[in-house]
Structure 1
Amino acid sequence: MVTKNEPGAEHAAGLAVSDANVAPVVDSAVVDPQQPMSKGYIVWLMLASFGASMAMMVPLSYGIAVRITELAPGHEEFLGFITGIAQAVYLVISPLVGIWSDRTRSRFGRRSPFIYLGTAIGLAGLVVIGLAPSLLIVGAGWVLGMVGWSIAGAALQTIQADKLPESQRGKVSALTGLMTQIAPVLGIGVAYAVSSNTFLVFVVPGAIGAVLLALFPLIKPEGSSKDLAASTQVTVRSVVSSYGFNIRKYPDFAWNWLGRFVFFIGLYFNTTFGTFFYAQRLDMPVREVAGVVATVGMIGVLAAAVGAIAGGFLSDKLQRRRLFVMIAAVLFVVGAVVEATAWSLPQIVAGAVLMQLTIAVFATVDQAIVYAIIPERDQAGRYMAVIQFAQKIPSAIAPLLAGLVIMIGATGGEKNYTLLYLLGAGFAFFGGLIILLKVKSIR
């Protein structure tokens, strides 16, 4: 699947070429990984991924909406502002965190310290939100929460980029991706069980996530990074350049970035306002929607499992990635159209389940593509931060745009979710098409 002309193929021979034109170094951190991950390591990686996803997604998909309803009822558009601003803050700092991670030399490794740092910041943010007396403090708390859990999640993904050989990229991406699909569903169930206490809605899922994240480096140590050579010198120029990359030199990385960006615009159009969408279409109070969201999600878990496992394992076996990305985009369109026209629970369930399946396929297979086309493996943390821009920028701007879209043609208290979901379908389709047609070095 990886051709000799693939961007970064020279690193398979241990050659690192940095943007700063430093001398080549030979280092185990640069070589395309060959040693398979053990089953035990994969299990703990899955559990850590589960924890990070639960801690982040429960507030995003349910908790913050509850706080808005408590503090500013009838102003659901504030959800877009709060989540968008938090994402924007993380976007600014993520490459700096990536550089810091790449250059960390400690007996605990390069990535593990950032799992702990992110977990501590994220948990503190959830405590702030749970106790916040105003939406301004809720927003500040979610900036901490988003930054913290994103740092921890990015460290887990970079560990996979560091350690996964090509033969396992689809499978392990499938298994960890499955965990990120299941975690929000079970997390919302946990939140619903303690929904009488708003503080616990945030802290209990966060505490579960924190424990799982903290255990992973203890039970499966990353290994010391003290003996790794530093590949680049940090300068103002190198920091500024870390926010981008050479598009002409790495065209596949660039096209995949763009396709991912467009797809995630569509995804966030169709998921950010899910709690309010269900409340409107089913004529239910927002607080009571958690039970519906959890029920729909639990039904969708099986679909997500099928999507992640089928996409990951089949793309490994058939050695074809782009085809599965496009299949996911087409099925996403179908699911979005079903939800856009839904005014009953069965139709909402059908659309949501189909979308969960397709999101799992896309996330799994495209992540495997990313691991294969990272340009410079000695700077994996930096490039993983850059590829996350393709997801994080949409998660920052799509909620803001979606908040405006739902006001188009709105009558009374009913927002225009039909238009929002149909626009999301269009973006997702074109994102998949870009990856299918333009990423050349991966089949």
Structure 2
Amino acid sequence: MSAWFMHSMFLLFMVPAVLGLVLVLVYALTIPEPVLKENRYPFNFREFITSFWTNPIRFPDFGLAWWGRFLIIFASFLFMTFRPMYMTRHLGLSGDEGAYAIAIGVTIYTVTVMIAGIAAGWISDLLHRRKVIVALSSVLFAIATYLLAHAATVKHFYMIEALMGLAIGMYFAVDMALVVEVLPDRLNSGKDLGVFNIANALPQSLSPAVGAWLLGTLGDNTDFTPLLVVAAVSALVGAAITMLIRSVR
């Protein structure tokens, strides 16, 4: 979609925003939701604060799954945050050429995510295996991230985007099933999933700062190898941590 609106920065940002607003309104107005007659759970500040914590010592598998997700998201956003710079400084494209290549690459990535997600979910259910597939997808993502340091052409970039999409599609399709199986308390699954979502949000905030330091200090603002190696190692550590989970096969 971004390729269609490259001529106008206003449309580039506003069209997705308006589309998102319309879809959210359709969802809110069409999905029925029961209305509570009374508040059965009065607000308690102490409970509110403690709801952001789940003891990883009491629930080690949940803690391991949390760190596995944190590390793969951290690895992913280390690259995605600096992808426009990668296109111009590593592949030597102009700004317009880089934007167009990113649009094509993201399309390839998205298609492979959808295909891999459906296939991996089916295979996981068929084999009754979760953590092996999650760990394998993290390893594939690490390989793809490392290969970015050696990509020399846009064609190489597209091929790596496809591999990254394959890895992420496998990961999210099966990891969510794994997480549901290691939740500490099924009666408070919403709270625990909220805690788990911190593993999605926090690395997205940390990776730009860490990536900027890696690129500026170790890469002299032109060499992406240190950044991509750290991303690959992060994904590999996430794979190893996932394999330590005991309650899920």
TM-score by length of 1: 0.53
Higher relative contact order (CA 8 A, sep 6+): 2
* 1:297 lines up with 2:103 in the alignment: no
Residue 355 of structure 1 and its aligned partner are, at CA, apart by: 0.9
CA contact 2:219–2:226 (8 Å) conserved in 1: no
Give the secondary-structure state (helix, strand or coil) at the position aligned to 2:169.
helix
Q: Report whether the alignment pairs 1:384 with 2:193.
A: yes
Match for 1:261 among 61, 70, 79? 70
Q: Give 2:57's match in structure 1, choosing from 235, 240, 248.
A: 248
Letter in 2 for 1:384: L
SS at structure 2 position matched to 1:406:
helix
AA aligned to 1:442 is V
Corresponding residue for 2:27? 216
Match for 1:419 among 201, 212, 226? 226
CA distance in 1, matches of 2:22, 2:218: 46
Aligned partners of 2:108 and 2:161 also within 8 Å:
no
Structure 2 match to 1:434: 241
Contact 1:191-1:204 within 8 A present in 2 as well: no
Q: Identify if the C-alpha distance between structure 1 residues 387 and 228 changes in structure 2 by more than 3 Å, giving closer, same or farther.
A: farther
Where does the alignment leave 5 or more consecutive residues of structure 1 unmatched?
1-189
Q: Which amino acid aligns with 1:220?
A: I
Aligned to 2:11: 200
Task: Return the letter of the residue paired with 2:103.
Answer: A
Which residue does the alignment assign to 1:406? 215
Equivalent residue letter for 1:272: T
Q: Which amino acid aligns with 1:441?
A: S
CA contact (8 A) 1:329 1:428 kept: yes
Counterpart contact for 1:191–1:200, Cα < 8 Å: no
Q: CA deviation at 1:377?
A: 4.1
Q: 1:233 to 1:376 in 2, by over 3 A?
A: farther
More deviation in 391-400 or 286-295? 286-295
1:426 to partner: Cα distance = 0.6
State how far apart, in whole Å, the 1-side matches of 2:219 and 2:148 are.
18
C-alpha contact (below 8 Å) 1:338/1:348 kept by paired residues: no
Cα deviation, 1:223-279, whole Å, max 9, x if unaligned, reads 30416983x543221122112112233222111112211222222212211121112
Distance 2:180 2:75 in 1: 23
Residue by residue over 1:374-409, the C-alpha shift from the partner in whole angstroms, topping out at 9 and shown as x without a partner, is 333443333222101112111111110000000134
Residues 239 and 430 of structure 1: CA distance in aligned 2, closer, same or farther (over 3 Å): same
Which of 143, 148, 161 aligns to 1:352? It is: 161
C-alpha contact 1:259 1:434 (8 A) present in aligned 2 = yes
Distance (whole Å) between structure 2 residues aligned to residue 203 and residue 346 of structure 1: 30
The 5 A counterparts of 1:181-192 are: 190-192=1-3
Match of 2:173 in 1: 364
SS in 2 for 1:399: helix
Render the CA deviation track for 1:397-437: whole Å, top value 9, x for unaligned.
Answer: 111000000013445xx522111111101100110211112
Correspondence 1:35-114 to 2 at 5 A: none
Corresponding residue SS for 2:16: helix
**Whole-angstrom distance in 1 between the partners of 2:24 and 2:187:** 24
Q: Distance in 2 between matches of 1:410 and 1:424?
A: 14
In structure 2, C-alpha distance between the alignment counterparts of 1:240 and 1:372, rounded to whole Å: 25
Secondary structure in 2 aligned to 1:271? helix
> What amino acid is the match of 2:248?
I
